[in-house]
Amino acid sequence: MTPRRATILEYLIIIGFALVPLLVTFPYRVNIFLSWEGAYRLSQGQVPYRDFGTPLGFGYWLVPALFFKLLGPQLISLVKAQVVLNIIGGLAFRSILKSLQVPTGTRILSVLLYVLSYSFMNFWPWYNNTVIIYQLTGMAFLLCGISRTGKWKWAQLFAAAFFTFLSFFTKQDGGGLALLLCLALLAYHSLHEKRWQKLAAFIGFYIIVACAFILPFVPHGFGYWFNHGQPPHNSRLSVKDFADELLNASQWLKFYFLLIVLLLIPGLRDWRGLWANKTRMLFLLVTLGILVEAALFQVTSYTPPDNNIFFHSFAFAFILTMMGEMLQLKMETPKAFFASALLILLWWSGSYYKYIDRILERVLPSPPETVQGGENVVSRRNFMIDTDTTDVPSSQWIFSDLPEFKKIYMPPSTVHGIERLMAMPEIKSKRGGVDLLNLTELTPLDHAIGYKLETGHQIPLWHHLGVGMFNRQLADYAAKIRQKKYDVVLYEYAPTLNNFFPFALRDELKQHYRQVDTFLAPRRPTNATIEVYVR
């Protein structure tokens, strides 16, 4: 396979899979309200920490905000933003493997695995995904800066520092681990070359970028919001949690680590030679660093449970490279390449089978649950009795006419409830001048109704108590509700989620406001309701 054909194939894989979400419709995504709200406020010119508070940096919302500015604040604009992020992440991963001189066939297979195992499943922007994409971009520039020579090395180091900090300014845990991994790579490079200029330059660039991002916001309460691990925040660092997750689960991580150790045994007999092999050592440090990061990340960012699956493609690339050298495998030959590609497609079939399943459901419908004569049939589809009478299968969800929800379907109760809300006299008569508090995940209603959002360094971006807002903000909102400041309040009651929206505010609303409507929240399962209150 020629280098040109390999490059074309890699670009087709990365871009082709990234574009698939543009061809389909989506159910309303749990927690996507946070992506929408941050992107919307930034696109409206609001300044983080001055106009709203967030315990995260605002790196997460930069790309979605740009798409809101260009395409409008629709939920589907977030999907389009993620398409670009997925392409950036795929190209960064490919660049990392090129810098580490991974053989062409192995590199293409690893790119395919990266797309299938990680980026293809991330249709929506989410901070636990964006932090990794920025990290990969920073690592790609870093490895270019230290593995290649040329006049652009200092610019590449600056770009590495910029994106590594942006990773930290998207989420502290993943971004902090990204910084440590970059420093480890630079430390080895400095020891190997006996020159420290690049390590010093990276640290200096990182500090400059950090100051540029942080210092302007210090007067607006940046320290209160960002001091994760100190009051009012809580630390997620627990030795017991790490031990439980690593020793009781993490089967793939431990399996990959075992294989890597076994493959390294011959090289460890000549550890001086291994240390002197700069490319191999960098590859080993990257792979082990990613595995360690994934082990820690799954504890500090515990929801959703597959946040850390970015490690598969790195481990696969290293293991296949080592095995190829030992067994003299040529993955570039057509037979070996296509056979391996088919096996990878089978291994990660779950990432794309859901699209095929939509077709099979029509062509090959599920067998009936009764047979001729009326005898019941017990099967894998009905052996459990579902006692949840509130759940609405997503196959029954419908679309809203509001442009903010274009191509997004929701439970009929949600759609009809939104229609009743938009027809309320308090909403229609004031034409966007209504004083409204939206304590729900239907944040696109901010733009649909057109009311003016509250701003100020005490206004939280989202209202999850102990996560996105704290007791000080809770007391402020409770006082405003007692004073009947708002014309309309939307509150989402999720009894199985711990203060997802503060329960104490619902108690205040029951006392000082009148509930006029209720409808299902756009969740799966539909175990939460949205309540509408007026003065």
Q: Are 449 and 480 a contacting pair, CB within 8 Å?
A: no
pLDDT for 270: 85
Confidence of residue 374 (pLDDT cuts 50, 70, 90): low
Q: How far apart are CA 307 and CA 304, in angstroms?
A: 6
Q: Are residues 182 and 102 in the same domain?
A: yes
44 falls within a domain: no
Mean pLDDT of 319-331: 91
Q: Are 474 and 511 a contacting pair, CB within 8 Å?
A: no
Instruction: Give the position of tokens 């604009």.
Output: 77
Q: Are residues 199 and 145 in the same domain?
A: yes
Q: Are residues 349 and 420 in the same domain?
A: no
Closest residue by Cα to residue 433 from 389, 479, 480, 487: 487
Q: Using one digit for the tens of pLDDT, what is the confidence trace for 13-72?
A: 999 999 999 998 999 988 899 999 999 999 999 999 999 999 999 999 999 999 999 999
Q: Beta strand pairing status for 488-493 and 408-410?
A: unpaired
Identify the domain boundary among 354, 382, 414: 354
pLDDT for 230: 79
Q: Are residues 131 and 201 in the same domain?
A: yes
Q: Are residues 139 and 31 in the same domain?
A: yes
pLDDT for 243: 87
371 pLDDT higher than 70: no
pLDDT for 474: 97
The mean predicted confidence, pLDDT, of the chain is 92
Contacts of 487 (CB under 8 A, 6+ apart): 426, 430, 434, 435, 436, 534, 535
381 falls within a domain: no
Name the β-bridge partners of 76: none
Contacts of 465 (CB under 8 A, 6+ apart): 474, 499, 500, 501, 502
235 falls within a domain: no
79 pLDDT higher than 90: yes
Beta-carbon count within 10 A of 535 CB: 13
Mean pLDDT of 151-164: 94
pLDDT for 267: 81
367 falls within a domain: no
Q: Are residues 27 and 90 in the same domain?
A: yes
Which amino acid would we find at residue 42?
L
Crossing angle of the two packed helices 278-300 and 239-248, in degrees rounded to 10: 110
Number of domains in the chain: 2
Confidence of residue 107 (pLDDT cuts 50, 70, 90): very high
Q: Are residues 413 and 342 in the same domain?
A: no
Q: Are residues 155 and 10 in the same domain?
A: yes
Q: Are residues 344 and 425 in the same domain?
A: no
Strand order in the sheet with 514-520: 436-439, 488-493, 529-534, 514-520
Tokens representing 379? 């099967």
> Which range is most confident: 186-190, 246-250, 385-389?
186-190
129 pLDDT higher than 80: yes
Q: Are 120 and 19 a contacting pair, CB within 8 Å?
A: no
388 pLDDT higher than 70: no
Domain that holds residue 467: 394-534
Q: Are 492 and 503 a contacting pair, CB within 8 Å?
A: no
372 falls within a domain: no
395 pLDDT higher than 90: no
Q: Using one digit for the tens of pLDDT, what is the confidence trace for 420-472?
A: 999 999 998 877 789 999 999 999 999 999 999 999 999 999 999 999 999 99
Strand, coil or helix: 376: strand
Q: Are residues 409 and 321 in the same domain?
A: no
389 falls within a domain: no
Q: How far apart are CA 379 and CA 454, in angstroms?
A: 53
Q: Are residues 209 and 111 in the same domain?
A: yes
Helix (H) / strand (E) element for 530: namely strand 529-534
Least confidently predicted of 334-348, 364-378, 434-448 = 364-378
34 falls within a domain: yes
Q: Tell me how far the alpha carbon of residue 385 is from its chain's centroid.
A: 34
513 falls within a domain: yes
Identify the domain boundary among 303, 330, 354: 354
Q: Are residues 329 and 444 in the same domain?
A: no
233 pLDDT higher than 90: no
- Which of the pair, 241 or 305, is modelled with greater confidence? 241
pLDDT for 227: 81
Q: How far apart are CA 463 and CA 471, in angstroms?
A: 11
